[in-house]
Amino acid sequence: MFLGIDLGTSSVKSVLMDTDQCIIGSHSASLSVSRPHDGWSEQNPADWVRAMEDTLDALKDSHAEELAAVRGIGLSGHMHGATLIDDKDQVIRPCMLWNDVRSHEQARRLDTPQFRDIGGNILFPGFTAPKVAWVAENEPANFARIAKVLLPKDYARLWLTGEHVAEMSDAAGTGWLNVGARCWSDPLLQATGLSQAQMPRLVEGCDVSGHLRQALANRFGMRGKVVVAGGAGDNAASACGMGTVAAGDAFLSLGTSGVLFAANDAYQPNAESAVHAFCHALPDTWHQMGVILAATDALNWLAQATQSTPQALSEPLDAHGAEPTDVIFLPYLGGERTPINDADARGVLMGLKHSTDAREMTRAVMQGVAFAFKDCQLALQSAGTSLSRAAAIGGGARSDYWLRIIANTLDIALDVPADGDFGASLGAARLGMIAAENADPLSICTPPAIDHTIEPDGSSASFLAEYERYKATYAALAPLMHQPARQ
């Protein structure tokens, strides 16, 4: 048996997987986020430990025999979080999460050609390095105590193994990694007053990072020596779960946020387009990622505004062909990442008429999200990656109508997997299996069965005409979005 532990922002999920890669048991425990000030987002790492204990206790209650047979554990977690540890492995302050933007000024100052050249990415406020720079400037006593900086899942590893270890995919999102060389960068660390002594040891995601502490093995009834794999950041772990690990493989995640993820066999950065260029969880593999901040979240907003539900808005459309609408929607409800990197951008509905109803606005929202994915596709192309097809995952992928809009806008085929759990927890369990069995990663990280495929229907040109209006709308309104609001 193999165990995958996914430390998400809102919950911890632990799954038991057998040697046939079937999930035989799963439990989740919820987490909350503290927002003491505007733009702050924090969690107490002790809550991660409590949630992991809860899920493992539940698995022991429901699957004691299977849990006893675990030979490998893999970890996944939300990226970028700054977990600061002192020389006694005690947490110094609450972890600043990926969506904490208090360090925007530090990010602006550190986003230099040196950081982009070595790190391969724009240094976003969400990355780890600017957060630690904020601590140095605003909490100098806390900064002086830092013995190690750990990412969230790597704090979970510290609890499991007693080891300070990170892996490449997650480390790439700190801002301190030489992403091409897959090692910590002395110049980037020095720019934030740190050294390699304060960084965890680096391994690949499928390597053994340590072994489960005997006290925990005894508590949860695990017999034998249990290895803990390097694991992966959440998107790379999801890619392992989806089998998106070889050059040319891609997935489109239509979740709360949106991700267009492509695996690469070479390092292909293009920071200027706000494409994320990170290490993958497997050796000698990288990935590129375009990120939009509101995907299904945009439909959630419309449902709330119209006192409806996303399902009630979207289901009546599934029986209809996908045609463009001239109502333009900018899905920038809380800023945007790829390609505009504009935290001040805001949502817009443009072209409303007397006849515009909830159905038309639903089509506009879905189309606007598709156009944001088109931005990501073009950004990936500018970084040397062209896609002919992608797997479609996430809650929004249950709407064939939405997928038809996206397929026509991107002019690619979208493969919809058969029902199953292909998320980060499965990817983590797969990495645990590879580490424990010394298995070939490509033989383990295989794609799921495909239920059906959405093909472009020849209407791409008509969607692209509206896409040009979409881009022009943002260009025209961006100066107004950047003006300070009147009090």
C-alpha dihedral sign at 428, 429, 434, 440: negative
Partnered with residue 287 across adjacent β-strands are 263, 278
What are 34's two structure tokens? 């503290």
Q: Give the distance from CA 285 to its chain's centroid.
A: 17
Site of tokens 């040009």? 468
Q: Quick one: DSSP state of residue 183? A: E
Q: Does the annotation count 170 as an active-site position?
A: no
Backbone angles phi, psi at 148, to 5 degrees: -145, 145
With beta carbons less than 8 A apart as the criterion, state whether 153 and 7 touch.
Answer: yes
Q: Which helix (H) or strand (E) holds 5?
A: strand 2-7
CA-based R_g, the chain, Å: 22
| Nearest C-alpha neighbor of 73 from the set 1, 4, 26, 21 | 4
Among candidate residues 100, 170, 234, 375, the one labeled active-site is 234
Give the orientation angle of helix 460-481 with respect to helix 400-410, to 10 degrees: 90
User: Residue 413 and residue 456: Cα distance in Å, rounded?
Assistant: 6
With beta carbons less than 8 A apart as the criterion, state whether 123 and 146 touch.
Answer: no
C-alpha dihedral sign at 55, 434, 449, 24: negative
User: Residue 117 and residue 130: Cα distance in Å, rounded?
Assistant: 17
Would you please indicate which residues are annotated as catalytic (active-site) residues?
Answer: 234
